[in-house]
Amino acid sequence: MRAFLLTGLSIVLLWGASLAGAQQITDEQRAFHDRWLATAQRAETVLNTKRASNASLEQLRTEIVEFRDTFNVSRTRNSDRIETLQSQLEALGPAPEDGASEVADIAQLRQRLNDQLDSLKVPEVISEEAYSRANGLISEIDSTIWERTKRELLSRGPSPLNLALWPEAYRESRLALLRLYHETVENFGIGAVRAQVQDRLPVIVILTVLGMVLLVKGKRWSDRVGNYLRSLGGAGSGVWTFVVSLTRILIPWIGVVFISFALQFTGILGVRGTLLVQQIPYLSAVFLSLDWIRRQIVSYAVLNDPEGPIATKATQYRIYVGLLAVFLILEELVRLFERIDNPSEGTLAVISFPLILVTGLVLLRMMRLRRSKFVEPDQFEEEEGHKVGFSSAIDLVQRVVYLLGIISPVLAAFGYVAAADAIVFPAVETIALMATVIILHRFATNLYGWISGKGEAAGDSLLIVVVGFVLTVLALPVLALIWGARSAELAEIWSTLMSGFDVGGIRISPTIFIVFAAVFTIGYTLTRLLQGGLRNSLLPKTRMDAGGQNAVVSGVGYIGIFFTALLAIISAGIDLTALGYVAGALSVGIGFGLQNIVSNFVSGIILLIERPISKDDWIDVNGQMGYVRDISVRSTRIETFDRTDVIVPNSDLISGTVTNFTRGNTVGRVIVPVGVAYGTDPRKVETILSEIANAHPMVLAHPAPSVVFQGFGADSLDFEIRAILRDVNWVLSVKSDMNYEISRRFVENGIDIPFAQRDIWLRNPEALSGNPTPEPDVAPQPARPPAIKPMDLTEADMGDGAGNGDDY
């Protein structure tokens, strides 16, 4: 046995030694770490001096992010192996105290495991430290760039209303155009450039011709594509109109790109010309996109009166959108002029102010137009009963844009040109983004309405609501970029979301959430399928009653959902230990705050196990009588005899008094009371009632029905028919049948059913004739109170006499 143990220990030690050697830091890793130390030192120096440009800081930040991503992977690479080694050490037990001896083999194994653990922790510790340092440097770079941007936006420059700045602005602008012209002419005068143009002339001509053809023929080709698509079906849904609208801007844009490539391919453009031509595809995309948005929105308007005010507003809208597109393009050209020629602040202020002013005025004018698709709101309220147009959130954004259109020119006039520029043009882009989201949502609605055949009713479906939510979420990063957020910052946020964050010791990330949702959805679906198979296929073939079948199906559902949630938590990698701590901390509060819910839940489990009541039982609880239709976790649904649902907490059914008329079987008793006049032969009445009871098909022969002579009432001799029915649910129908038969037989045999008779005593009868009479010597006796027959409420008093138990 000892030899076997020593052999096993030797194998473990050799395997551990080889693994430890493989985990030593390699030369390549040391070189990578040295490069990181140099980059980190350089970044700290740059941040301390605060002289680097924003572009240099962004480049440095990109390098640090690459290092950080590598360290993020390295710091958790050996976590599984470290956890295994720690478990092995725990299995060996604690090390002996000082002076105590330990078996040599176990001591040697413990030392080997500790050495492996230390060798694995070295790269992890180094990576963790480097990861934290990289995070800190990235935060410092972001703070530096943000402080510079904030200082630039809040800085006040020269006012564009200062006329002394205008000559200088004119001179610098004219000089920039002349430089562009002379640069191009000088390049064309070089022989090598002309030779290059001649060599590339065929390609240049082909690109130019293709571009011009696409610009000229694009609309006609788009219409042909639309006619072909409409022949496939879906006419009137608006789907193919949307697709054609996209081709109308895509084909001309491709033509512009071809012409731009042809100009760059010539080589005659200088630095300024090349930078300008490279911006042409972007600028044309801006113009075509706004024109597309304008066409889409106007197409949704109601233009039944071409000469009326509605058409005038639509025409104004076209003009305003076109002006905004032109101003956005001019603003991009001003930014290009700033990057190339570095003009003075006064020149930039003078050039930018007209664009800011006119853009603000256009925004103000656009916001004054009707916001309900250019139709009077009252018209839609009359036709559809509600306002059609932008939602309240969009109305709020429009009011904010309206305010920005007023503030921006005022800020620019006082010298805050950078702040005004950072407000008014992003406002225009925000409107364009919102319009794009609305258009795409409208297209999704039309597409789903066409595919599903629901038409306009598809707009109320859950899928379209989800699509709208997804489009809104996707638009948020674009909105952040419009208002000055850097792509690096958005990438940082995305990286943080993907890596997750800790909540009470539990790691939460999109990956964990997706895995949890996917596993839970699959498990929940399988549970419901299993319940459906049991309810519809397996259990009906057994001898189990309906209540037992319902209990089994409900129990399978509870167990399936519990294990599904447990499996989803384990699959997502959520630490149940940390979750247990959180649950323990909340247990006291849950116990006090949700004690009624917990009580009802436990009561529901007891109802399913003990089954004192089952589905379709006829019960009476707290004065509510009806049939049990469903037993859920918290409550039980009872359908009363007037077809209303009563929700009863399960705890009331367990702790209260419940009458179950059909528990286990449907056999029940019916009592039919009847009274006959005094002087009638009781035996004859008994014989007639016995014959009536025995003749009814719902009355059981064993035990036989009985007739009871209840006693002498105030006005009648009281009898009762007491019979056991094979189905108590027909108690009202049986009562009705017996009463009909009793009436018929009593008439045939001359038996009267009396009605109550009462004596009336008048205290002062002389007052009725108007002749008062002297009071008698003897005081009158007090009036005798009328005899009142006690009334017993039976099942008949609770029904409507329709004939069966369902009428309760």
pLDDT tens for each residue of 198-245: 888 888 899 899 989 988 888 888 877 777 776 766 555 677 778 888
Strands 668-676 and 658-660: unpaired
Distance of CA 227 to the CA centre of its chain: 38
pLDDT at position 538: 86
Q: What is the mean pLDDT of residues 726-753?
A: 90
Q: What contacts 140, CB < 8 A, 6 or more positions away?
A: 47
Predicted confidence band of residue 801 (pLDDT cuts 50, 70, 90): very low
Q: Is residue 148 over pLDDT 60?
A: yes
| CA–CA separation, 586 and 106 (whole Å) | 44
Q: What is the mean pLDDT of residues 700-706?
A: 89
pLDDT at position 502: 64
Q: What contacts 512, CB < 8 A, 6 or more positions away?
A: 500, 572, 573, 574
SS3 content of the chain, % helix, strand, coil (to 5): 70, 5, 25
Predicted confidence band of residue 11 (pLDDT cuts 50, 70, 90): very low
Predicted confidence band of residue 691 (pLDDT cuts 50, 70, 90): very high
| CA–CA separation, 472 and 391 (whole Å) | 13
Tokens of 293: 């948005």
CB neighbours of residue 83 within 10 Å: 10
Tokens of 604: 């529901």
Q: Is residue 474 over pLDDT 70?
A: yes
Q: Are 516 and 569 in contact (CB under 8 A)?
A: yes
| CA–CA separation, 159 and 349 (whole Å) | 7
pLDDT at position 540: 84
C-alpha torsion angle, residues 568, 571, 575, 579 (rounded to 10): 0
Any idea where the domains of the chain sit in the sequence?
2-94+102-154, 164-199+269-496, 500-576, 594-660, 668-756+795-807
What is the 8-class DSSP label of residue 710?
E
Beta bridge partners of 621: 624, 658
Distances in Å between the alpha carbon of 243 and those of 216, 238, 474, 627, 649? 19, 9, 21, 57, 56
Predicted confidence band of residue 581 (pLDDT cuts 50, 70, 90): low
Q: Which of 281, 252, 279 is nearest to 340 (CA)?
A: 279
How far apart are the two ends of the chain, measured CA to CA in Å?
82
| CA–CA separation, 744 and 732 (whole Å) | 19
Q: Is residue 778 over pLDDT 50?
A: no
Q: Average per-residue pLDDT in the chain?
A: 78
Q: Is residue 449 over pLDDT 50?
A: yes
Distance of CA 437 to the CA centre of its chain: 18
Q: Is residue 16 over pLDDT 60?
A: no
pLDDT at position 379: 38
3-state secondary structure of 217: helix
The angle formed by the CA atoms of residues 473, 477 and 482, to the nearest 5 degrees, is 130
- pLDDT tens digits along 161-206: 888 889 998 998 899 888 888 888 888 778 787 888 888 888 889 9
Q: Is residue 267 over pLDDT 90?
A: no
Distances in Å between the alpha carbon of 476 and those of 127, 567, 602? 34, 34, 45
| CA–CA separation, 400 and 56 (whole Å) | 36
Stretch among 28-32, 215-219, 740-744, 747-751 having the lowest mean pLDDT: 28-32
Tokens of 136: 């800190």
Q: Which of 351, 341, 358 is nearest to 271 (CA)?
A: 341
Beta bridge partners of 674: 719
Q: Are 61 and 138 in contact (CB under 8 A)?
A: yes
Q: In this structure, which topology does domain 668-756+795-807 adopt according to CATH? A: Alpha-Beta Plaits (3.30.70)
Q: Bigger pLDDT: 805 or 582?
A: 582
Ordered DSSP codes for 245-286: HHHHHHHHHHHHHHHHHHHHHH----HHHHHHHHHHHHHHHH
Q: Which amino acid is at 246?
A: L
Predicted confidence band of residue 769 (pLDDT cuts 50, 70, 90): low
Q: Is residue 375 over pLDDT 70?
A: no
Q: What is the mean pLDDT of residues 691-718?
A: 90
What is the 8-class DSSP label of residue 95?
P
| CA–CA separation, 79 and 779 (whole Å) | 111
Tokens of 566: 């447990």
- CATH code at 594-660: 2.30.30.60
Tokens of 204: 């240049």
Tokens of 642: 């007037």
Q: What contacts 505, CB < 8 A, 6 or more positions away?
A: 575, 578, 581, 582
Q: Is residue 623 over pLDDT 50?
A: yes
**How many percent of the chain have pLDDT more than 70?**
80
pLDDT at position 123: 76
3-state secondary structure of 615: coil
Strands 624-631 and 645-649: unpaired
| CA–CA separation, 550 and 530 (whole Å) | 13
Q: What contacts 708, CB < 8 A, 6 or more positions away?
A: 719, 720, 722
Q: Is residue 82 over pLDDT 50?
A: yes
Stretch among 120-134, 235-249, 330-344, 740-754 having the lowest mean pLDDT: 235-249
pTM: 0.65
The angle formed by the CA atoms of residues 403, 405 and 409, to the nearest 5 degrees, is 120
Tokens 């720690």 found at: 86
CA torsion sign, 722 to 727 to 728 to 731?
negative
Phi, psi of 214 (to 5 degrees): -65, -35
pLDDT at position 724: 92
Tokens of 66: 């690459």
C-alpha torsion angle, residues 729, 730, 733, 739 (rounded to 10): -100
Q: Which of 523, 504, 511 is nearest to 565 (CA)?
A: 523
pLDDT at position 766: 67
Beta bridge partners of 721: 672, 707
Q: Are 759 and 786 in contact (CB under 8 A)?
A: yes
Q: Is residue 496 over pLDDT 70?
A: yes
Long-range contacts of 333-342 (CB under 8 A, 24+ apart): 333/279, 333/283, 336/275, 336/276, 336/279, 337/173, 337/176, 339/275, 340/176, 340/271, 340/272, 340/275, 341/172, 341/175, 341/176, 341/179
pLDDT at position 742: 93
Q: Are 556 and 534 in contact (CB under 8 A)?
A: yes
Tokens 């089994």 found at: 552
Tokens 């000088």 found at: 186
3-state secondary structure of 649: strand
Exposed/middle/buried for residue 387 (C-beta within 10 Å: 0-12, 13-18, 19+): middle
Q: Is residue 797 over pLDDT 60?
A: no
Query: How many DSSP H helices and E strands does the chain contain?
Result: 25, 10
CA torsion sign, 694 to 696 to 702 to 707?
negative
- pLDDT tens digits along 382-417: 334 334 444 566 677 777 877 888 888 899 899 898
